[in-house]
Amino acid sequence: MKLIRQCGILLHPTSLPSKYGIGDMGKEAYQFVDFLKRANQKLWQVLPLNPPGYGESPYQCFSAFAGNPLIISIDLLLEDGYLEYNDIEAVPSFSESKVEFQKVKEYKDIIFKKAFNSFKKLKKDDSYFRFIEDNKNWLHDYGLFMAIKDHSNGRPWNKWHHSIAFPTEEVKSKYKHQLKDEVQYYIFLQYLFDKQWRSLRDYSNKQGIKIIGDLPIFISYDSSDAWTHPHLFELDDKGNPLKVAGVPPDCFSKTGQLWGNPHFKWSVMESNGFQWWKNRFKKLIELVDIIRIDHFRGFEAYWVVSATAKTAEAGSWVKAPGQKLFSEVKKELESLPIIVEDLGFITPEVKRLKKQFNFPGMKILQFSFGRNVPRRERPAGYEKASVVYTGTHDNETILGWYKNIIASNNKYMLKILNKHYGINPSMKDEEICWRFIEIAYNNSSSYAIIPLQDIIVLDNTGRMNYPGTVGGNWDWRYEKRLLTADIEDKLRKLTEAYNR
């Protein structure tokens, strides 16, 4: 993928302001796009758009194909005639700075079911039937999976009765009939998500903004994908994972990271031309302009750990058919508008795979100033075919990170940042953040993308995720008053100054 020099902002839609407790695809999303345009930003990067499962993580979803219904805009449902104002009169009092996920789910489920009841009475237009036809390879199975999960009190699919955990087509047909209304409800939500997101994406594109989506390499065990296609994953005859994903110990974790996602049966996937992967890439590129692949190194070799292990220490690297996979995907899509997360333990083989397909990689400012960092990983050495971030969703905010450098009295880092970049502890928080943003803009990386938390000068109270922890993650939201004309002006001037 060939990049031109541009800049943008990382912000997941759930973090947008909204009176309904969670960011959505309504007015505030369009206003954020307008803000991007006024600030001369050309890129809006989001996290995975799929429906979160365990821990509300967008990287542990109930489907690799479905959209997150929680970001469906209630106000747009009013405009489309699916709701009346008396349907939403008693909006609960929600936090403006955090997503209260359970409270939001309970409220939106009530509202969405009112919209569904209205929808059932209306004549369906062609777009609805076209959506169902275009998504038939996953949509009905997803709807059935979610309907059965509801009737099973949310239990994971391998805890269901064996006959439905591993259903025949006859059993599936029986449940589709018994749970017809519930299945149609989940299909209806996907239709709404698709319709609203495509409108938002089209508007963004007309404003000159491209959307960067996110594709996690692994899928959640408790997902419609694993339930529908168990033969594609390393599972035993009871549906339990045999081997799970993670990464080995490194300087950030003495025991590694044990993610717990089931591994793919790559030989089975390869035998049918990687069709599941083709479908997955094809679906995502319908919704976004550029794809960021998470944990790219797993397409060259992946860390395998026993499903019974308590940590990721006792694992091994196993080769993956990344070259064959991306060759097949390229045939399907014709082009590969892809950037890759190439952080962590990166071998020459991973670098060759990245280079073969011209995939730009990532640079993180927070990883660029340490004592043993090679020159090519410092800002002055960044390659043109790369994307630089002050940090990602998994990092501290840049202000939180710098304050921890001060608190730990890291004399080497403090000296480097002061001597070469003019950053010192006597500076105001705002000065510190904007100096780091300027460093991100002023280097050879073609794309510079800044998390909104750094632009509005937040410490770690604005952090999106603490890897390896469950609870209290993914819930950050910004308050509308924080996006000011002064910020627009600063971004616009930096964009012009550094030719982005």
Catalytic pick among 194, 328, 341, 459: 341
Catalytic position from the list 100, 270, 377, 394? 394
Give the span between the Cα atoms of 47 and 394, in whole angstroms: 11
Contacts of 417 (CB under 8 A, 6+ apart): 369, 402, 405, 423, 424
User: Is 341 a residue of the active site?
Assistant: yes
How far is 332 from 278, CA to CA, in rounded Å? 7
Question: H-type helices in 240-347, by residue range?
Answer: 266-271, 275-287, 322-333
DSSP H helices, 229-356, are 266-271, 275-287, 322-333, 348-356
- Residues contacting residue 490 through CB under 8 Å, at least 6 positions apart: 434
> DSSP class of residue 123?
P
Is 133 an active-site residue?
no
- The number of CA neighbours under 13 Å toward the Cβ of 184 is 14
Contact 297, 278 (CB under 8 A): no
Helix 139-151, helix 180-206: angle, nearest 10: 130
Task: Give the active site residue among 56, 222, 294, 459.
Answer: 294
Identify whether 134 is a catalytic site residue. Answer: no
How many angstroms separate the CA atoms of 148 and 154, rounded? 9
In the block, residue with structure tokens 């519930």 = 182
Percentages helix, strand, coil for the chain, rounded to the nearest 5?
45, 15, 40
Total count of residues recorded for the chain: 500
DSSP annotation of 91 reads: -
Rounded-to-integer distance, Cα 9 and Cα 453, Å:
10
Task: Please name the residues in contact with 475: beta carbons below 8 A apart, sequence gap of 6 or more.
Answer: 14, 56, 98, 99, 100, 101
* CA gap 346, 338 in Å, rounded: 18
Name the residues annotated as catalytic: 294, 341, 394
